[in-house]
Structure 1
Amino acid sequence: MRSSELAALAGVTVRALRHYHQVGVLDEPPRSANGYRRYDVHHLIRLLRIKRLTALGFPLAALPDLLDQPDAEAVELLDQLDDELAAQIQRLEARRAVVAELRRDRGAPDLPHELARHFAAWADADAPATLARVDREQTILVAHLVGEERLPRLAQLYERMTDPGVMAASRKLYARMDELGPGSDDAEIERLADDLAAMVAPIVAEFQAAGDDDLDLDAVAPLLSAYTGDVLNEAQRRVLARVESRLSAPA
């Protein structure tokens, strides 16, 4: 029979058949005078065994020994396969738990689930769309750079920022920030910087006092500056620079 006939009988694709030849689990038969490979029933039986073993989860690399010495190899390989399947189940259960948490909190799936609730709250608070996007993209960057081990610590800060009182104040400040543009004068920029710093400073101090170690964001600062330099206008960047200066000044 030809390759297409063999593949149809076994319920695989011709491409899979060629792949089995390439990795060495199925021998290639000689070609007939017309150039076609001619398979027989022995090839079909081996192909059915390959299909069964791969369906169970055995990797192709393990098949040659298992196909040629099934009784000698089966017990050890089944033990290994069971361990791997158990590990896969654990990973899937953990992933499903994250999906359930995101669904419950209406969190965005492109954000770390530890922080996604913050942005769901911001969506409910009707934050200005442009600044909400900036906040979201900055958070993606910060979360990646601080690493998974520090995410629970970072989540504490975001949890504090979603306090109803803080949210109400933030919404007003964000609206003022969103209105800044070329016509904004120095006095307006200074007032907004003062108000932002006054809101953020106690939260940062409380956050730092609550932890045994500080969350070091020094490595993040240059990339955040590069990002805000691209997405914020000059007046907005000046406000952020003044807020940073006020927060870093000695008490």
Structure 2
Amino acid sequence: MDEVVNVNFFFVLKGKSVKQILLVVIAAFFTALFLFMGNLSLSPVFSTKDGPKAVYRGEKDIALTFNIGWGDEKAEPILDALKKENVKAATFFLAGSWAERHPDIVSRIVKEGFEIGILGYAYEDYTELEEANIEKDISKAKEAFRKLNIKDIKLLRAPTGHFDERSLKLAARSDYTVVHWSVDSKDWTNPGVNQIITNVNKANKGDIVLLHASDSAKQTAKAIPGILQELRNKGLKLVTVSEMIANGSVDSKEIK
């Protein structure tokens, strides 16, 4: 009788151990899957095989980029902050429809020596548009800047940051290089000036930093001095995206 009890206890204990091990393995699997999916969603995917590419980082220096798609209030305070900090190099991606409504601000951006790229025209998600409509949006943006006497723009950023193989090919057909980013300030979420500075402080040489000068970015102007101080502490030189492309190799990944 004692022997039978001991045997039963052994199998019960064995069963519990197996269940515990299985639970640990399953938990580890889903944790790994979660981390993988998180990294996958954040990983830039930026080229077609043997086709056009989108730039998301370079080899050296650092590029601050500002998106403006809408609003009347935040662009000039950000330009004021850059001027006060004696910043001579930055790239502004402007929606054509916004540029049409704010020619004076566009003129100031140009006069202060900053680079201009196109942020489409109507700020629509290119991955949700038919090819003909993507092409039309790019063409309308190009025409809007031509009327503002801003020529030879070579850079394009997908309006919502979303693009696919079609977008890359259509942009290349119009002689534009698509530019994404490697560091996101998340300034449009207004997480606080210190958090914006912390987010940008992840940047190192070769990074392209995403910032905004639309009215949603309520804290960006105040964050600029701290951002610049941190970048200077790292010895990073500010350049435009075009200068980054010209001065070294750039990274891209393949769109499947």
Give the TM-score of the pair, scaled to structure 1: 0.24
Give the TM-score of the pair, scaled to structure 2: 0.24
Higher helix share: 1
Structure possessing the higher radius of gyration over alpha carbons:
1
Higher strand share: 2
- Greater RCO (Cα-Cα under 8 Å, separation 6 or more): 2
